[in-house]
Amino acid sequence: MPAIWTGARAQPAQPLRATPSQTEGPFYPVALPKDSDFDLLRNGALAYGRGQPSWVEGVVTDLQGKPVAGAQVEIWQCDEAGHYHHPGDGGKADAAFQGFGRVTVAADGQYRFRTIRPAPYSGRTPHIHVKVKLGTRELLTTQLYVAGDPGNERDFLWRSLGAQARSAITVPFAPGSDGLRANFPIVVAT
pLDDT tens track for 71-95: 999 999 999 999 999 999 998 999 9
- Say yes or no to pLDDT of 26 above 60: yes
- How high is the mean pLDDT of the chain? 94
Residues 52-65 have a mean pLDDT of 98
Distance from CA of residue 118 to its chain's centroid? 11
Distance CA 79, CA 41 (A): 10
d(CA 146, CA 63): 24
CB neighbours of 188 closer than 8 A, spacing ≥ 6? 18, 19, 60, 61, 62, 63, 68, 71, 132, 134, 139, 140
- What's the pLDDT at 3? 52
Residues contacting 90, CB < 8 A, separation 6+ = 83
- What percentage of the chain exceeds 90 in pLDDT? 89
Is the pLDDT score of 8 beyond 90? no
Helix, strand, or coil (residue 28):
coil
pLDDT tens-digit map of 122-160 = 999 999 999 999 999 999 999 999 999 999 999 999 999
Q: Please indicate, yes or no, whether the overall pTM of this predicted structure exceeds 0.85.
A: yes
Going by C-alpha positions, the residue among 77, 67, 160 that lies closest to residue 121 is 77
